[in-house]
Amino acid sequence: MLREKEKQKRVTEDKGFLYGLSQSFSIVIGYTPVAITFGILATQFGLTFWEAGLMSFFVFAGASQFIAIEMIHQGATPLMIGVTTLIVNIRHLLMSLSVVPFFPERTLPWSLGLAQGLTDETFVLNTNVLKDIDREENRRRVMLGINIGAFTTWVTFTIIGGLIGKWLPVQFSGFQFALLALFIILTASSLSKKNYMTYLLAALLAVAFKLLIPGKLYLIMSVVLAAGIGAWWRGRKAHQPGFDVPKSMP
């Protein structure tokens, strides 16, 4: 029994960058066609392939990039584009706060590097994978591997799409659902008996707030409220006799 525990510990500790990179394969499959689509559309909307590539490199936010090139095509000002994409991506603040507990001894360079690679899809995959990694140093490397895999795929295939964009006059439809579908699949894979009530509560609150609150603010409010209630309930149960703190709690 003791040898089995030591073996399991060694396996866990050996997980690092390459393990994270291999875990990113599910995201790579989903990002590839969407990134190509973005590159093609960006060049058809007037950007050069390297401008599209730089946008993917510095922004790295699929939905916001599609919105941005449409606004550029319509002649919107940089301020309007910036404010719009900020509103669309404000949810990343909540995602970052959810990831922070995995890295109690984080440094600023690591924080900035890992934050650059945080998207809807990498957030779900990271939180699902990191809960099984014991040491913070290994968590950093695993998350870096996941993020690098997703980031490199997005930038590379954006450029490829941009290069062929001017020679492929194709009208796309339905591609907006691709990233959403990938996000749903990754989220569903992270469901467990310990957290499904929080997800269900967030969904119900989102529906209720949608009927009462205009715009997209209802999404943030439902997530914050559901997460707060879930954390309160877990904290309450943690103080009850016989309750073991889940391994996912760093």
What is the model's pLDDT at position 110? 87
Q: Which segments within the chain are labelled E, that is strand? A: none
Pairwise CA distance, residues 195 & 240, whole Å = 18
pLDDT along the chain (250 residues), means of 10: 48 76 93 91 89 94 85 84 79 82 88 88 91 90 95 96 79 54 55 69 83 71 74 63 43
What local confidence, expressed as pLDDT, does residue 10 receive?
46
pLDDT at 245: 40
pLDDT tens digits, residue range 189-207? 556 666 667 778 878 888 8
Which of 198, 218, 153 lies closest to 179, judged by CA? 153
150-185 per-position pLDDT tens digit: 999 999 999 999 998 877 766 655 555 555 555 565
- CA angle (17 as vertex; 111, 7 as ends), nearest 5: 120
In terms of phi and psi (left: phi > 0; alpha: psi -120 to 50; beta: otherwise), the region of 174 is left
Question: Tell me, what's the pLDDT at 210?
Answer: 81
- Which residues lie below 8 Å from residue 122, measured CB to CB, with a gap of 6+? 24, 27, 146, 147, 150
Q: Kindly calculate the radius of gyration of the chain based on its CA atoms and give it in whole angstroms.
A: 20
State the Cα torsion 217-219-221-227 to the nearest 10°: -160
pLDDT at 249: 38
Q: Which run of H or of E encompasses 2? A: helix 2-13
Indicate the domain borders of the chain.
8-190, 193-250
pTM: 0.68
- pLDDT of 165 reads 80
CA dihedral sign of residues 21, 115, 189, 194: positive
205 phi and psi angles, rounded to 5 deg: -65, -40
**Which whole-number Å values give the CA distances from 144 to 37, 62, 102, 213, in the listed order?**
26, 19, 13, 37
